[in-house]
Amino acid sequence: MRDRLELSCIHSFLKANKPILGICRGMQMLNVAFGGTLTQHLPTAHLHLAPGEEIFHGVRTEGFMKKLYGRNLTVNSSHHQGVDRIGRGLIPAAWASDGVVEAFYHERLPIIGVQFHPERMERGDAIFALFLKSC
């Protein structure tokens, strides 16, 4: 039920041409909404998830992420699923060392997805500022 509700919300926002910022599961749902797939359990999940605590790891950036944070960034991580096949029109903008996509944007729509939690990061406000600007 939750998946159907979230996909319905995404499609409603797309139809209304509203900006979308997907965080963690939200990024995964955006990928699915654009026809992408997910890896249900990453073979390297131990690099992204530790029960009861937050993990931090580096990512390599491009596109909007590189403009906001430079070529490399340390992000928090708390997930065992990830983007497998990227959805139509979505462009990866950050990758973990194991190749997991950690951020993307849409080639022409005001859509951003991040796998990490910028609301819990010291410099995470830059993503929110970018999103609010698109609003």
* Amino acid letter, 100: V
Length of the chain: 135
**Residue of 57, 62, 80, 117 marked active site:** 117
Q: Is 117 a catalytic residue?
A: yes
**Residue of 9, 57, 119, 135 marked active site:** 119
| Strand extents, DSSP E, the chain | 20-23, 38-39, 55-61, 72-77, 82-83, 90-96, 101-106, 111-114
Q: Is 119 a catalytic residue?
A: yes
**Residue of 6, 24, 79, 102 marked active site:** 24
* Amino acid letter, 103: A
Q: Are 90 and 104 in contact (CB under 8 A)?
A: yes
Q: Is 48 a catalytic residue?
A: no
SS3 103: strand
Helix (H) or strand (E) holding 27: helix 25-33
Catalytically active residues are 24, 117, 119
